[in-house]
Amino acid sequence: MKRTLTLAAVAAATALSGYSAHASCADPRPVISGSIHQSPPIVLPAQVAPDMRHTGDAGTLIVGTWLVTYIVEGSPFGQAYIQWHSDGTEWENINLPLSGGNICVGSWKQIDAKHVSRNHWGWLYTNSDLSGYFNETETDKVTRSGTYSGTNEQKGYDLSGNLLFDVTGTSSAVLITP
């Protein structure tokens, strides 16, 4: 019921505003509306090599390249490669159309021994013209076995700062070994 109401609210807001921004790194509307082709999930043969990454806290363990799978409002959204850097920055390349933007950036910090939090930003486009931006906040639990999972919230805005959407989702990731 909540998902149906959320989808209806996003659709109504978009239709009533005459606004039709398309995918940037985290704009969930094209997937919800079914307007883009969904790529099959990527499956990596190995997560973490034996005896790697089994020490340290979340701030140490998160550093590296990850394959992340996103679910938004209960539906598959996309997969991304994310690099988390030791200086507290991160960048993401997601499998969404290039015309909408598929590179995003952000920063992260360690919350406690097992969790990190990130603040992630990207642009929204309409017919290849800049039309807004989004912010995704996410909290992830990082394991010593080379995985993490978490919850996120994505808010999209037009260029005047008016809220276009606010949705929640989950992430799950596997570490890509060097």
Query: How confident is the model over 113-140, as a mean pLDDT?
Result: 93
Beta bridge partners of 143: none
- The residues, ordered by sequence, that sit 6+ positions from 177 with a Cβ below 8 Å of its Cβ are 46, 47, 48, 49, 52, 146
Residue extents of the structural domains in the chain: 2-176
Report the C-alpha gap between 111 and 58 in whole angstroms: 8
Is the pLDDT at 40 greater than 80? The verdict is: no
pTM: 0.75
Q: What is the pLDDT of residue 177?
A: 83
Of the CA atoms within 13 Å of residue 132, those in its CB half-sphere come to 24
- What confidence tier does 127 reach under pLDDT thresholds 50, 70, 90? confident
Q: Which of 36-40, 46-50, 71-75, 95-99 has the lowest mean pLDDT?
A: 46-50
Kindly report each contact of residues 55-59 with a partner whose C-beta sits within 8 Å and lies 24 or more positions away, as own/partner: 55/144, 56/144, 57/110, 57/113, 57/114, 58/110, 58/111, 58/112, 58/113, 58/114, 58/115, 58/116, 58/140, 58/141, 58/142, 59/110, 59/116
Class of domain 2-176: mainly beta
Report the C-alpha gap between 154 and 79 in whole angstroms: 16
